[in-house]
Amino acid sequence: MRTTAPIILRIGISLVIIWFGAQQLLDASLWVGYLPDWTHALPISQIGLVHLNGLFEVIAGLALLAGFYTRIAAILLALHLLEITYTVGYGQIGVRDFGLTIALLSVFFYGADKWSADRAFDRARSDLAQNDGSIARSDLDTL
């Protein structure tokens, strides 16, 4: 059970992030109202800003789902949601995003789990290092 919990947390939180990002990409106009007033001064339209945010969330969420650069994706998403929490303040959205931030920090501190791409890459690097990149004696015997 202990080895399964980090996997469930990583996959679950990534699906939530991907869902929110996809919703922003599919209908950005619904999300413009959540932008703070200072974003009007930016040299990008409100719709464009929502699209960029949605794209970031989908890409980082997919990386987290695959367990690809798990810690980097988790900390970037945690900081992103912490900023949103600060911007929207205490309320339903702020409390929800604070909870998501804590979940992402848990993924960050745990790192790669046994089902993550990071772990698979680590095993492959380890296997390569053990062979030192040289041809194994059994391979020479077959020649």
For the CA atoms of 6, 65, 76, 96, what is the dihedral angle to 10 degrees? -70
CA 101 centroid distance within chain: 11
Predicted local confidence at residue 65, as pLDDT: 97
Distance CA 39, CA 53 (A): 13
- Where do the domains of the chain lie? 4-142
Whether residue 10 is predicted with pLDDT greater than 50 in this model: the reply is yes
User: Which tens digit of pLDDT belongs to each residue from 14-53?
Assistant: 999 999 999 999 999 999 998 988 899 999 999 999 999 9
pLDDT > 70: percent of the chain: 92
* Cβ contact 44:92 at 8 Å: no
* CA atoms within 13 Å, Cβ hemisphere of 16: 17
Residue 134 confidence class, pLDDT cut points 50, 70, 90: low
Predicted local confidence at residue 1, as pLDDT: 73
Instruction: Determine if the pTM surpasses 0.85.
Output: no
Q: Between 43 and 138, name the one with better pLDDT.
A: 43
* Cβ contact 107:64 at 8 Å: yes
